[in-house]
Chain A
Amino acid sequence: MSQKTFALLAWILVLGAILIVVVLVSLSLGSVNIPLGRIVEVIFQRKGSVEHSIIFDLRMSRILLGFAVGSSLGLSGVILQGMFRNPLVEPYTLGISGGAALGVCLNIVLGVSKIGGGLSLPLSGFLGALGVILMVYFLSARKTFRIQGLLLTGVMISFIASSLIMLIMAVSRVEELQGIIFWIMGSLEESNWFLIITMLLVSLAGLLVAYLFCFDLNALALGEEEARHLGINVERTKRMLFILASLLTGCSVSVAGIIGFVGLAIPYFIRLLTGIDYRFLLIGSFLAGGAFLILCDTLARTVISPLELPVGVITGIIGGSVFVYFLHTGPQQLFRKT
């Protein structure tokens, strides 16, 4: 095993360890603090107790969903930044979040959720996201996959969607407004285990599929023409990766709302740490995205407990501050070129 492979494996272990620590801390903290040492005991031995129920029904579900959503966003971000060769692209740049939000807004205003039940909100969000994905794809990628055109189309569709959302909000009633705002702010509170498990499977499947393209992404880092010289079918790769990243984003947004920053900053940081090798970047962003979102969610529900902050607020404030701090005072050479 080469030295580099060894170093990358070590990074994966470190990230895995961080993830486990974050999960344990998150299980232990909350309105009722359960000491770290007792968690294992509670999980295995005290079924039916109050603590067992807190850990499983309240905290574990959020942790699993947080992991699934965070890792999907991190993965989607690293894929998109790789194929666009642009560190400022993030999962929401393509207008997918706007489409999902629009779908949910329409659902709430038209009162579908009252009839359709709990699954109808994520479903309408997903339909909205899917609509945007198809629109962006067919507008700019049907014949040849023009990557800059794709980006511009996505940004414009974002604008249109957010304008339409404002329009809907302007004419909707107060209780509907609350529902819309609550959804847009993003939350990991989800009691439906079917959704949580589905989301977990989606993120894992996303990682597996993305991993098949790790060398294509490595080659694409050299530019599209160079990638072709290395035997990559660039057109096909871009199409597949776009669809994959879109689906990951669409699923995340429709389940958890719009949680910013994870898909932008996590891939950026991971790349700074280890350089450009997607064999590691994919796994690294996946693990780090999951751990970061679980951590932020833990803070969101404990900082001003018993009140709860929207998790997107925490990801933005913490992530953004760290990012800006490093950008201006941290090791400068890290930020020169990605």
Chain B
Amino acid sequence: MIEARGLGCGYDSRFALKDINFKAAENELLGIIGPNGSGKTTLIRAITKIIRPQCGRILLEGEDIDGMEFGELARKMAVVSQGCDTEFDIPVEDYLLLGRIPHRKAFQFLETERDMEIIQRAMDLTDTARFRKRSLNKLSGGERQLVFIARALAQEPRLLLLDEPTNHLDIAHQVKILDLIRRLNRENKITVLIILHDLNLAGEYCDRLMLMDIGGVHKIGRPEEVLTYQNIEQVYKTIVVVEKNPVSAKPYILLVSEEERARKQSKTERSGHKNK
């Protein structure tokens, strides 16, 4: 579905991403994880043609995106980015209709029946129809995130890119958003590329994970292959304990504070003395 080959890109002449190779298959839910500044958002910006690759290629359904018009791209993929304007004073319904812009014909100034049907379906899927008349800036963070996803769905994308959609949300909304994304992926056959900071959620929901390290791909694979304590300690430079989620049997990462680590260490040292 989407593929990067030897991709290198960045801002100015400085390379932020070097030699990125990955491929997300049709109907896959691929998670992108990695520390701040490892280039996750830059990768999304390259895929959406906001920045141009300095080398390598990005293929969407086998076709190089460099030769594609913005409009054509927008009919195939939709983006929920972090930069969505939250203070925008516009009714939800009108906001969703903006998602129909890529599908407008020349000189088509009014909405068609089909446009209305599609935003209705997008609202049904995301459970946002109940605040269709309310203004975007009057919604809570969780509701707004659902609306952003609904607008992306109004584009009828085959590929959905999401940049930390669960940021600043409570656990109930995090699960709600990710359940929704998984449902879209499974039932509506939308391929998903999602950046997540929460490793546990990433492991729980994604088919495969791509772990990025400063400008490159550290490892791609199934969650249990990627989320090992060796990989995480190497990339995040943080000590973690990896357990199994008792319900889903997916890897679960536990963090330990400095104080506890010191206590544990002195304990083992003491017990070491005793054993001697």
* Residues in chain A within 8 A of chain B (CB atoms): 1-2, 4-5, 211, 214-215, 218-219, 221-223, 225-226, 228-234, 275-277, 279, 336-338
Could you tell me the distance in whole angstroms from the C-beta of B20 to the nearest C-beta in chain A?
20
20 inter-chain pairs at a CB distance below 8 angstroms, sorted by A residue, are: A2-B111, A2-B116, A5-B110, A218-B101, A219-B101, A221-B88, A225-B45, A228-B48, A228-B49, A228-B70, A229-B48, A229-B81, A231-B70, A231-B73, A231-B75, A233-B70, A277-B94, A279-B109, A336-B89, A337-B88
A215 to B104, CA, bound (A): 9
Smallest CB gap from A215: residue in B: B101
| Chain A residues near B89 (CB-CB < 8 A) | 275-276, 336-338
Name the contact of A222 in the complex, choosing from B71, B88, B91 (C-beta under 8 A). B88
| Chain B residues near A233 (CB-CB < 8 A) | 69-71
Smallest CB gap from B106: residue in A: A212
Whether A275 contacts B69 in the complex (CB less than 8 A), given A228-B49, A228-B50, comes out as no
A13 to B182, CA, bound (A): 47
* Residues in chain B within 8 A of chain A (CB atoms): 45, 48-50, 69-75, 78-79, 81, 83-85, 87-91, 93-94, 98-99, 101-102, 104, 109-111, 116, 137, 155
| Chain A residues near B93 (CB-CB < 8 A) | 4
| Chain A residues near B111 (CB-CB < 8 A) | 2, 5
A222 near B70 with CB under 8 A, answer: no
Smallest CB gap from B107: residue in A: A212
B98 near A275 with CB under 8 A, answer: no
| Chain B residues near A1 (CB-CB < 8 A) | 110
Could you count the A-B residue pairs with CB atoms below 8 Å apart for me: how many are there?
75
B116 near A230 with CB under 8 A, answer: no
Smallest CB gap from A4: residue in B: B94
B98 near A223 with CB under 8 A, answer: no
Name the contact of B81 in the complex, choosing from A221, A225, A231 (C-beta under 8 A). A225
Name the contact of A232 in the complex, choosing from B75, B90, B99, B101 (C-beta under 8 A). B101
Known: A229-B79, A231-B71. 5 other contacts (CB 8 A): A5-B110, A225-B81, A231-B72, A233-B71, A336-B89
Whether A225 contacts B83 in the complex (CB less than 8 A), given A231-B102, A233-B70, A337-B137, comes out as yes
Whether A275 contacts B116 in the complex (CB less than 8 A), given A219-B98, A233-B70, comes out as no
Smallest CB gap from B48: residue in A: A229
A221 to B84, CA, bound (A): 11
- A5, A215, A219, A229: which has the most chain B beta carbons within 10 Å? A229
| Chain B residues near A225 (CB-CB < 8 A) | 45, 50, 81, 83
A222 near B85 with CB under 8 A, answer: yes
Could you tell me the distance in whole angstroms from the C-beta of B243 to the nearest C-beta in chain A?
38
A172 to B64, CA, bound (A): 63
| Chain A residues near B101 (CB-CB < 8 A) | 215, 218-219, 230-232
A323 to B261, CA, bound (A): 63
Could you tell me the distance in whole angstroms from the C-beta of B52 to the nearest C-beta in chain A?
11
A212 to B87, CA, bound (A): 27
Could you tell me the distance in whole angstroms from the C-beta of B65 to the nearest C-beta in chain A?
12
Could you tell me the distance in whole angstroms from the C-beta of A2 to the nearest C-beta in chain B?
6
Shortest 8 CB-CB contacts between residues of A and residues of B: A231-B74, A231-B102, A231-B71, A229-B79, A231-B70, A230-B101, A215-B101, A337-B89
- B90, B93, B116, B155: which has the most chain A beta carbons within 10 Å? B90
B83 near A226 with CB under 8 A, answer: yes
Could you tell me the distance in whole angstroms from the C-beta of B210 to the nearest C-beta in chain A?
21
Smallest CB gap from A232: residue in B: B70
B85 near A226 with CB under 8 A, answer: yes
Could you tell me the distance in whole angstroms from the C-beta of A77 to the nearest C-beta in chain B?
20
A1 to B113, CA, bound (A): 9
A277 to B116, CA, bound (A): 17
A40 to B89, CA, bound (A): 45
Smallest CB gap from A2: residue in B: B111
Could you tell me the distance in whole angstroms from the C-beta of A85 to the nearest C-beta in chain B?
9
Smallest CB gap from A276: residue in B: B90
Name the contact of A226 in the complex, choosing from B71, B84, B110 (C-beta under 8 A). B84
B83 near A230 with CB under 8 A, answer: no
Smallest CB gap from A221: residue in B: B88
A211 to B87, CA, bound (A): 26
Smallest CB gap from A218: residue in B: B98
Whether A226 contacts B81 in the complex (CB less than 8 A), given A214-B109, A336-B89, comes out as yes
Could you tell me the distance in whole angstroms from the C-beta of A112 to the nearest C-beta in chain B?
44
B102 near A230 with CB under 8 A, answer: yes
Name the contact of B98 in the complex, choosing from A222, A228, A336 (C-beta under 8 A). A222
- A211, A219, A223, A228: which has the most chain B beta carbons within 10 Å? A228
| Chain B residues near A275 (CB-CB < 8 A) | 89-91, 94
Could you tell me the distance in whole angstroms from the C-beta of B122 to the nearest C-beta in chain A?
14
| Chain B residues near A226 (CB-CB < 8 A) | 81, 83-85
A215 to B108, CA, bound (A): 10
